[in-house]
């Protein structure tokens, strides 16, 4: 007749192994899922880095095409052009003023012809002459973050 203690010990060992096997299988599934998630995140980071590098390159090209100092100094000012450009960009005078670096009242006075911008301000106006709505919004967001 077998020893009761030995039989009980074997049974406890068998049940413990069965429980551990179930827990280990669950942990293995979770671990595999985490590894897949990490690999996907790494791929996403690589793709985002590639996109950022491309956009930085494009931005560098775009900035390189800004008007030269000589062209900006020769730029002329027109109140009619200023009003139409602000309307084209769909900006308030305050937002347009932020882009140029002046007060909103200056923009109103320039548009109405009550005053004219100084040469340095004409240069700044020439610098934003070719931008579109998206670029204007992006620049305003950058100014807002600063």
59 and 85: one domain?
no
Q: How many domains are contained in the chain? A: 2
Residue 69 confidence (pLDDT): 52
The pLDDT confidence band at residue 103, using thresholds 50, 70 and 90, is very high
Domain around 33: 1-65
Q: Say which residues have a Cβ less than 8 Å from residue 52's Cβ, sequence separation at least 6.
A: none
Among residues 65, 80, 95, which one ends one of the domains? 65
- Interacting residues of 95 by C-beta distance below 8 A, sequence separation 6+: 136, 140
Do 7 and 55 belong together in one domain?
yes
Tokens (6 digits) for 103: 């007060």
Cα-only R_g, the chain: 34
Q: Which pLDDT value is given to residue 94?
A: 93
Signed CA dihedral, 106, 109, 114, 117: sign only? positive
Quote the pLDDT of residue 34.
Answer: 97
The CATH number of residue 99's host domain is: 1.10.260.40
């Amino acid at each position: 007749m077998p020893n009761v203690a030995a039989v009980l010990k074997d049974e406890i060992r068998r049940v413990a192994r069965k429980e551990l096997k179930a827990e280990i299988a669950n942990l293995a599934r979770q671990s595999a899922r985490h590894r897949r998630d990490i690999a996907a995140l790494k791929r996403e980071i690589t793709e985002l880095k590639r996109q950022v590098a491309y956009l930085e390159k494009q931005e560098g090209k775009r900035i390189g095409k800004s008007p030269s100092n000589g062209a900006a100094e020769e730029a002329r000012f027109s109140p009619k052009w200023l009003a139409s450009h602000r309307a084209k960009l769909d900006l308030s005078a305050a937002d347009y003023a932020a882009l140029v670096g002046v007060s909103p009242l200056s923009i109103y006075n320039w548009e109405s012809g009550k005053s004219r911008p100084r040469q340095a301000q004409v240069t700044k106006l020439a610098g934003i002459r070719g931008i579109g709505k998206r670029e204007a919004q992006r620049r305003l967001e950058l100014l807002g973050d600063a």
